[in-house]
Structure 1
Amino acid sequence: MNESYRRLPSLDPLKGFEAAARHLSFTKAAAELFLTQSAVSRQIQTLEEQLGVRLFRRETRRLSLTQEGEVLYRAVAESLSRLAEVCAGLRAARRRPRVNVSAAVGIAALWLVPRLSFFQDIEPDVDVRLSADNRLVDLDHEDIDLALRYISPDKAPPEAVLLFEEEVFPVAAPALAARLPACLRAADLAELTLLAFEHSHQAPWLSWEPWLAGMGLANALPKAVLQFNQYDQLIRAAEDGRGIALGRGPLVAPMMADGRLRLIGGTRLRIAARGYYLVRARQSARPEVERFAAWLLAEAKQTERDAAA
């Protein structure tokens, strides 16, 4: 054995240090590594004793790296990342090709999942693993190849590709839409249930207030309001005729195309503040990932054509 290898710290303390340095938090590092906070703290203490230097400045409610800690973090992060890539490549050689995809819950349930069978038809030897999650996953440290993100243009990474922009308009099931006039009146609203997105404060264009104000119904009251914390649940309720909803163009395009939902009032609002982007992990350049990405882009173009029809 190379004599210098004997002086290297063991892998577990280095992994604990890398997570703590990345998060600047022992608590978050412990959660990521499925350890207790005290176990991570002991790992860091052991590492500092072995190296003879302080790696962190422990201040009240604040953790920061020392100069020595910054040097070690850069080296450890690069080495662990490279080791993870090599191990992933070795594992991939023993299994079927697989594409790991992360997507927000709404676009996953309403847009991607209904289309996955089409990809399986043309690529039967490629497995797809879908993780539906509204958080922004860390593509550099999690086992994800591609992410479908609903973000503002300024938050999109340089390598991100716009799939389609956001477009919002009122929709309802055909039977309910047929009973409504082209322009809603206060008396009509009093007989309607509004299906509302619980997180509309984060996206005002998904809130009913500005829409009702634009229709001259700012002071009118609906029969009831049903709130949902997941957008796909809201749209399923609209399909079932439970009330009227604000449809997001790309996500409700299939329902509009096959008649499950109909536009109310004819007003469409293009939202430049947000869009749906395809983001690739830097280390994912496998052929199956490239083919899946190309297929996604083609499906997005078809969605835009359907929405414009």
Structure 2
Amino acid sequence: MHSENAKTPAPAVELPPLELLRSFEAAARTLSFTQAAAEVFLTQSAVSRQIQQLEASLGVLLFERRHRALALTEAGRVLQRAVVESLERLRDATARLRAAPAMRQVAITTTPGFASLWLIPRLAHFTADHPLVDVRVSATLDVLDLERSRIDVAVRFVPITRGTGATLFEESVMPLCAPRIAVALHVPGDLVEQTLLTVDMPNHAEAPTVDWEPWLEVMGLSDLRMKNTMRFTQYADAVAAAVAGQGVVIGRLPLLRELVQTGQLVAPFSEGAASRRGYFIETSRRAAGNPDAQDFVRWLRVEAEAAQRG
């Protein structure tokens, strides 16, 4: 049973066809079916029939037919104001849409560390060559569904055995620190007197040195314990702390190659180790129809090859 206070939605009012309104606007402005017919590319009799059809659908007269003259009725003046305003808004909106250039966009997802330490410092190279392309970067540790998230390209950081798509580069690791810290590091055993800079892993049961394990295994230092630890939620923050001289971070190469080349970070020990992880490029189905996304993938590979040579 319906409540007494429930309101029944008002039925939708059917609007007159646009071609009738265009003919009416021309006739109301010129007060001549003949001139209106010339504007809308119809015959005078066709315009006259359209006005009669419009009047019949509204149930009111819009014009007073006088001898060789037309005059708007009050209802005609009301409709004229509404139609003129509506047509002007439609023309303005259409002009804006036609004038606006089609948006060209490449959407990419990757880890915060790769985005801040490798991608963003190089991104100006791509945008300089593609000034009309909007690049949207989603930096997250979440593995986003490319199709559902409307993303063209993903750069995934995963173990080598789980990598899919094209390999961008594999990773090697070694301890890195500021030059003033390095002067006290002569052999790997000297790390016991230093501060460990590390990143909290999603699985808090993992040891804080999980990122160090490939290098520690190579050096035979699996039981190494450093003096104290500073934990960060993002790898880029741990790197910033290392640059500031607050401790030693496990350096992921080639992500940090530029910091080493500029001397902001140094490798106190020359030996590195493969981390058994790497960066892989995946593309979505939508990227196949986006030439800018394909250009972006080619650009990524060229930049990676250049970084490897450097």
Q: Same fold (TM over 0.5)?
A: yes
Does residue 102 in structure 1 map to residue 105 in structure 2? no
Separation in structure 1 between the aligned mates of residue 175 and residue 163 of structure 2, nearest angstrom: 28
Does residue 234 in structure 1 map to residue 238 in structure 2? yes
**In structure 2, what is the equivalent of residue 193 of structure 1?**
195
Selected match of 1:122 from 117, 123, 129: 129
Shift of 1:141: 1.4
Shift of 1:219: 5.5
Q: What do residues 147-195 of structure 1 show as CA deviations (whole Å, max 9, x unaligned)?
A: 11002344333xx1100001111111122113321x133xx33431111
Greater gyration radius: 2
TM-score under structure 2 length normalisation: 0.61
Separation in structure 1 between the aligned mates of residue 230 and residue 258 of structure 2, nearest angstrom: 23
Separation in structure 1 between the aligned mates of residue 304 and residue 279 of structure 2, nearest angstrom: 10
**In structure 1, what is the equivalent of residue 145 of structure 2?**
138
**In structure 2, what is the equivalent of residue 275 of structure 1?**
278
Q: How many residues align?
A: 209
Contact map agreement 1:168 1:205 (CA 8 A) in 2: no
Q: What do residues 10-37 of structure 1 show as CA deviations (whole Å, max 9, x unaligned)?
A: xxxxxxxxxxxxxxxxxxxxxxxxxxxx
> In the alignment, residue 282 of structure 1 is paired with which amino acid?
R
Separation in structure 2 between the aligned mates of residue 234 and residue 170 of structure 1, nearest angstrom: 12
Structure 1 runs (4+) deviating above 6 angstroms are: 200-205
Selected match of 2:172 from 163, 167, 171: 167
In structure 2, stretches of 5+ residues that fail to align are 1-96
User: How does 1:269-308 map onto structure 2 within 5 Å?
Assistant: 269-272=273-276, 274-284=277-287, 285-306=289-310
**In structure 2, what is the equivalent of residue 51 of structure 1?**
none
Contact map agreement 2:195 2:229 (CA 8 A) in 1: yes
> In the alignment, residue 246 of structure 1 is paired with which amino acid?
I
TM-score under structure 1 length normalisation: 0.61
Shift of 1:94: 5.4
**In structure 2, what is the equivalent of residue 152 of structure 1?**
159
Separation in structure 1 between the aligned mates of residue 127 and residue 134 of structure 2, nearest angstrom: 8
The 1:176/1:287 distance shift into structure 2, 3 A limit, reads: same
The 1:178/1:300 distance shift into structure 2, 3 A limit, reads: same
Separation in structure 2 between the aligned mates of residue 133 and residue 109 of structure 1, nearest angstrom: 11
Separation in structure 1 between the aligned mates of residue 273 and residue 127 of structure 2, nearest angstrom: 34
Separation in structure 2 between the aligned mates of residue 99 and residue 257 of structure 1, nearest angstrom: 30
Separation in structure 1 between the aligned mates of residue 214 and residue 280 of structure 2, nearest angstrom: 26
The 1:124/1:134 distance shift into structure 2, 3 A limit, reads: same
